[in-house]
Chains A and B, each alone.
Chain A
């Protein structure tokens, strides 16, 4: 849908300029990481990464690669700014979150650089909205240092298998315990709530299991309140990869297919609550 708005007269070039025919491709992904008001946006020629952190223990990243956009131009090697994610989402969804089939909101995003606001131009059905959102100094982000060589255990599951489990997690439990092991129980989720403990086992030969690469038995616990927001990313995704490293850090990677069938990723990293690495069955 062509944008009938003029981008503002530019004396200076924009360090970031992007166009998207369907703003939902961006807004739905951002909602999957929206558990804090503030986010850090990081743009390179490869695309846009939006990071949200909490309590120095959990980090979520939404990746929208450059190919998803109709135009994506970054003038410097990288562009970083901090922004209010709640405000950004309200602006991206200014015309509503559902629309009639065949209509969508077109988006143009422009950023002049350090100290300038982020400009959004949104258009639907001939109505144009212009937003100017103030940006802030980017903060240091955690680096979970998760590369494939340091991964101890890895599982890839079809998301439909986990969705119900995550929706029904006993929230009176302080922690979610995850056991990953080359031996039984292979993959177990446990909670310890007021009414008792609950265990959910996934056998390694289950239909839902797409890959199973566990080398060592690991039992790790994570604060359930920190992991609960990841359910939003799980709900959107078709597949999820669950990895742990030697320190018990958890990486959840969600493969999300948008309305046009394009693939995007959201990942969540979480620190363990306690370190229990001895074999525990």
Chain B
């Protein structure tokens, strides 16, 4: 089992870790913050699956109907200049690691003005992802900051727990409104109630509602498009965020 990768392009590094993609995005409201930072906010611990062409960050939540609750897929070629992976066995050319994404996020924070970042799977005393950040220096020899992030190797017999969720039968699918507006509304609603009702129909309308003894608030969005395939069932809300080279799926079980 071997894994070795290198990022040299600063823009790729920022997109991967913390910053906003610089360039001319089609829709500024849809720009995700760095992938690792987002994952770190969504999960305390998650699974990193490495294949020859992709990285996956997976959160498997046994509480939520025994299925996967977060699935993030990245094409390694969009981020890494070098990527070498040898899985646990020839027929199973993949590696599954358990890690704390906040540790990775913190390590990558030191790489803001890095010349290069190398990531390597090591096993000196225990399995670790070694993140070596090469920083510019005034002298001829570079400064290297190394972070050892402990990881757990997930044995092959447990890999089934992390299968990509199949798309169940859904009733309605809808494009979300401008995320900035939705984020404000949801943040305010969070102050008022611990649960929210989401309604959507096939005419491009969506409602967010909260109701408590003190107050009820309903926000109506309209003129949202309905994509041809399905998103919302009445048991699980499935959010799919699509950006150029990242797709993030997040599942929230309904309370009722």
Q: Which residues of A contact B (CB under 8 A)?
A: 84, 86-87, 90-91, 93-96, 124-134
Q: What are 8 inter-chain pairs, A to B, with CB distance below 8 A?
A: A125-B181, A128-B219, A128-B220, A129-B185, A130-B218, A131-B216, A131-B217, A132-B215
- Pick from B188, B189, B222 the residue with the most CB of A within 10 Å: B188
Flag if B216 contacts A90 (CB, 8 Å): no
Q: Which residue of B lies closest to A94 (CB)?
A: B188
A131 to B189 CA separation, bound complex (whole angstroms) = 11
Flag if A95 contacts B216 (CB, 8 Å): no
Of the candidates A91, A126, A130, A134, which one forms a contact with B188 in the assembled complex, judged by CB atoms under 8 Å apart? A91
- B222 / chain A contacts, CB cutoff of 8 Å: 126
Flag if B181 contacts A91 (CB, 8 Å): no
Q: How many A-B residue pairs have CB under 8 A?
A: 58
Flag if B184 contacts A129 (CB, 8 Å): no
Given contacts A84-B215, A91-B217, A131-B217, 12 further A-B contacts (CB under 8 A): A87-B215, A90-B191, A90-B192, A96-B181, A96-B184, A128-B220, A129-B185, A129-B218, A130-B218, A131-B215, A132-B215, A132-B216
Flag if A129 contacts B213 (CB, 8 Å): no
Interface status of B91 (Cβ within 8 A of chain A): no
- A96 / chain B contacts, CB cutoff of 8 Å: 180-181, 184
Interface status of B177 (Cβ within 8 A of chain A): yes
Q: Which residue of B lies closest to A120 (CB)?
A: B217
Question: Smallest Cβ distance from B144 to chain A, in angstroms?
Answer: 41
Q: Which residue of A lies closest to B192 (CB)?
A: A90
Flag if B220 contacts A91 (CB, 8 Å): no
* SS of B interface (majority): mixed
Question: Smallest Cβ distance from A96 to chain B, in angstroms?
Answer: 4
Of the candidates B188, B214, B219, which one forms a contact with A133 in the assembled complex, judged by CB atoms under 8 Å apart? B214
A90 to B185 CA separation, bound complex (whole angstroms) = 9
Interface status of B244 (Cβ within 8 A of chain A): no
Interface status of B3 (Cβ within 8 A of chain A): no
Flag if B217 contacts A94 (CB, 8 Å): yes
Flag if B219 contacts A91 (CB, 8 Å): no
Question: Smallest Cβ distance from B192 to chain A, in angstroms?
Answer: 6
- B191 / chain A contacts, CB cutoff of 8 Å: 86, 90
Flag if A127 contacts B220 (CB, 8 Å): yes
- Pick from B189, B215, B221, B222 the residue with the most CB of A within 10 Å: B215
Question: With contacts A124-B181, A126-B222, A127-B221 known, is A93 near B188, CB below 8 A?
Answer: yes
* SS of A interface (majority): mixed
Question: Smallest Cβ distance from B210 to chain A, in angstroms?
Answer: 10
A94 to B177 CA separation, bound complex (whole angstroms) = 15
Flag if A87 contacts B223 (CB, 8 Å): no
Q: Which 4 A-B pairs have the closest CB atoms?
A: A96-B184, A129-B219, A131-B217, A90-B188
0/1 string, B49-89, CB within 8 A of A gives 1 = 00000000000000000000000000000000000000000
A129 to B220 CA separation, bound complex (whole angstroms) = 6
- B188 / chain A contacts, CB cutoff of 8 Å: 90-91, 93-94
Instruction: Categorize the interface residue count of chain B.
Output: 20 to 34
CB proximity to A under 8 Å, residues B183-208: 184-185, 188-189, 191-192
Flag if A133 contacts B215 (CB, 8 Å): yes
A140 to B218 CA separation, bound complex (whole angstroms) = 33
A84 to B220 CA separation, bound complex (whole angstroms) = 24
Question: With contacts A90-B192, A127-B219, A128-B219 known, is A84 near B214, CB below 8 A?
Answer: yes
- B214 / chain A contacts, CB cutoff of 8 Å: 84, 87, 133-134
Flag if B219 contacts A94 (CB, 8 Å): yes
A132 to B214 CA separation, bound complex (whole angstroms) = 8
Q: Which residue of B lies closest to A118 (CB)?
A: B215
Question: Smallest Cβ distance from A222 to chain B, in angstroms?
Answer: 31
Question: Smallest Cβ distance from A62 to chain B, in angstroms?
Answer: 20
A84 to B192 CA separation, bound complex (whole angstroms) = 11
- Pick from B177, B191, B192, B223 the residue with the most CB of A within 10 Å: B192
Question: With contacts A133-B215, A134-B213, A134-B215 known, is A95 near B192, CB below 8 A?
Answer: no
Q: Which residue of B lies closest to A95 (CB)?
A: B184
Q: Which residue of B lies closest to A136 (CB)?
A: B214
Of the candidates A84, A94, A132, A133, which one forms a contact with B185 in the assembled complex, judged by CB atoms under 8 Å apart? A94
A189 to B215 CA separation, bound complex (whole angstroms) = 43
Question: With contacts A131-B215, A133-B215, A134-B213 known, is A87 near B192, CB below 8 A?
Answer: yes
A130 to B209 CA separation, bound complex (whole angstroms) = 9
Flag if B218 contacts A91 (CB, 8 Å): no
A94 to B209 CA separation, bound complex (whole angstroms) = 12
A127 to B183 CA separation, bound complex (whole angstroms) = 13
- A128 / chain B contacts, CB cutoff of 8 Å: 219-220
A93 to B181 CA separation, bound complex (whole angstroms) = 11
A84 to B191 CA separation, bound complex (whole angstroms) = 13
Q: Which residue of A lies closest to B223 (CB)?
A: A126
A91 to B217 CA separation, bound complex (whole angstroms) = 8
- A93 / chain B contacts, CB cutoff of 8 Å: 188
Question: Smallest Cβ distance from A1 to chain B, in angstroms?
Answer: 15
